[in-house]
Amino acid sequence: KTMMTDEPIVQNPQLIHLIQLLRADQNDETQAAFYAALKTAKFMLPVGATRDGDPTIVMITDDQGQDFLPIFTDQANFGKSPDHDQYAVATINDCANFLYEDHDIQGVAINPYGENMLLSRANLFYVAKPDSAKNGEAVRIGEPPRETATLVKHLRDYLAKLRTVHAAYLTTMIRADDTQSLLLVVDADKGTDLHAIVAFAEAYLPETTQFHVSPNDNELGRYVSGEFAPFYQR
């Protein structure tokens, strides 16, 4: 990525408007509009430099000591950032790739000194699939670990209340470099709010677990629903 001088002007008035709408009234419609805008938006990502002069991404840390990737919607918001004057232009997919490589980043903070809209890892991976998972990288799928029993129990109760969900499968996804994450595959009617399921599940995830949610109508989803037994069925 080139630095500031060559970059186009980044502006996202529509996205800021949608964040405000979402805050005022969080429902399926405002959420869907926000996530749709997020997929196409370009952001200003602060960058620093290593001793060798290579660009590096910059983190911000919250009161609990958790790291987030700060991204800004425009110059005015970027200007509120206390100690960064260089940036690269990044999409939400770029951010997903950074989080995929670095397990310690908890999520993304949009305009941390303004709207401070936080997106968790699971929500981010639902919106933007990291490149390495979608470019045909060989992943192995296995049974979920035993410590997910609590998650499964709570998900069963929760999914039973959602009429549009027909079945759900939980597996472990193992990448070529042996990093593991949980994969929840949901067989649901089109338009079902998978974000709500992600938000619910996050409270019961084992510590530091990577978590992905997939509908069952893509290649990965079809494989899982063909090979594994559902933990929930309507």
As given in the structure block, the two tokens for residue 107 are 């999520």
| Number of residues written out for the chain | 234
pLDDT tens across 13-70, in order?
899 999 999 889 887 788 888 888 888 899 999 988 777 877 788 899 988 888 999 9
- Top mean pLDDT of 53-67, 129-143, 159-173, 185-199 is at 159-173
Determine the pLDDT at residue 5.
46
Q: Where are the domains of the chain?
A: 4-134, 140-233
Place of tokens 């008035």: 13
Angle at 110 between CA 107 and CA 111, to 5 degrees: 140
- Average per-residue pLDDT for the chain: 83
Q: Which CATH class is domain 140-233?
A: alpha beta
Q: Which residues sit opposite 43 in a β-bridge? A: 90
